[in-house]
Amino acid sequence: QLQLQESGPELVKPSETLSLTCTVSGGSLSSTYYYWGWIRQPPGKGLEWIGSIYYSGSTYYNPSLKSRVTISVDTSKNQFSLRLSSVTAADTAVYYCARRRDGYRGWFDPWGQGTLVTVSS
Amino acid sequence: QSVLTQPPSASGTPGQRVTISCSGSTSNIGSNYVYWYQQLPGTAPKLLIYKNNQRPSGVPDRFSGSKSGTSASLAISGLRSEDEADYYCAAWDDSLSGRVVFGGGTKLTVL
């Protein structure tokens, strides 16, 4: 059973960089069949796609966040990571990682449990 | 403002059939598959429907999806109290170099 787990600081100061890691267990991140992605959800609001990555390092980013986002992969650790720079209070959200099926246009399944990151001084 | 448009709320009584709509455009629903996710209170979203109308294993056949043109719908028949959740539609959008777009979500209340 594939599982994903997000980890990282729960509190980030404004203007700093948010960094999260997603650890994949029960399966290989190096599989040629899947992409891997990050999605966020501000408190009480809807879902927003941040970006996706293939095991080779190929990435797709949300155009509205592209200038601040970097997603990377470490196949040796079966992990992929998110960095979001110059954060503001608007970046406060629950951040989810998920596996992407059927290519970069496909669906997210399964999802990690999510981690709440608060941007505040 | 979400790219895909969903009603913010829907409701029904146990046993009823409820439908949730999702409206988009030619660059997303009109040319790509639609996906539906269920988010129970306090939990992560879970895949409910993929490729417009396909159910993952474990999802009851009370849930069904359909697509026509630039709109899609999720139908829930035989409504149960445990179906009370937020439901999100999603699709790939070919504009702006490509991106995933979500609907704003529909909160389903079982009366």
Q: Which residues of chain A have pLDDT under 50?
A: none
φ/ψ of residue B82, rounded to 5:
-75, -5
**B85-98: pLDDT as tens digits:** 999 999 999 998 88
**Does A114 lie at the interface with B, CB-CB under 8 angstroms?**
yes
DSSP class of B2: -
Q: Assign A80 to helix, strand or coil.
A: strand
Name which of A48, A105, A113 is nearest B102 (Cβ-Cβ). Answer: A48
**B67-85: pLDDT as tens digits:** 999 999 999 999 999 999 9
The reported pLDDT for the residue numbered B1 is 84
**Does A49 lie at the interface with B, CB-CB under 8 angstroms?**
yes
β partners of residue B86: B39, B107
Residue B61 has pLDDT above 90, yes or no: yes
Distance from CA of B13 to the nearest CA of A (A): 25
Inter-chain touch A102–B51, beta carbons under 8 Å: yes
Query: Chains A, B: CB contacts under 8 A, how many?
Result: 64
The reported pLDDT for the residue numbered B67 is 98
The whole-number average pLDDT for the span B43-56 is 98
**B26-46: pLDDT as tens digits:** 999 999 999 999 999 999 999
Inter-chain touch A109–B100, beta carbons under 8 Å: no
